Amino acid sequence: MSRHSTASSVLKGAISPKSKPLVSVIIPAYQVSGFIQETLQSVLNQTYGDYEVIVINDGSPDTPLLEEQIQPHSHLITYLKQSNGGAGAARNAGIRVAQGQSDPDRNTRRFFSRAT
């Protein structure tokens, strides 16, 4: 991958540049170069198309291979690169850049309101 920033580096490939997607698929990545292509292909093969894909490299030691594996999909995904902070930090980084129309906080509150 050729374009990176530091703390949360972003490489953006737009699926639908004219409108925000309904769903954001957030994929934290740490030592997953062996199966990231299968993961991405699974998402991209879905018949539902109103989504974006965000891959967050959480300081993975296999970064060169990971980036090589996601390169064929670089025009379809947003790629973030950050220092290792764990899966939760990676998910939060993905949420911060997500363009999906769904509000995870609102959905969580709604779920817990019904559960109590």
Q: Is residue 39 scored above 90 in pLDDT?
A: yes
Domain residue limits, the chain: 33-75
Q: What is the pLDDT of residue 8?
A: 45
Q: How far are the Cα atoms of 22, 23, 65, 73, 108 from residue 111, in angstroms, in the given order?
A: 19, 18, 39, 34, 5
The number of beta carbons lying within 10 Å of the beta carbon of residue 107 is 10
Global model pTM greater than 0.85: no
pLDDT in tens, 72-82: 999 999 999 99
100 pLDDT band (50/70/90 cuts)? confident
Average pLDDT over residues 48-71: 95
Q: What is the pLDDT of residue 101?
A: 82
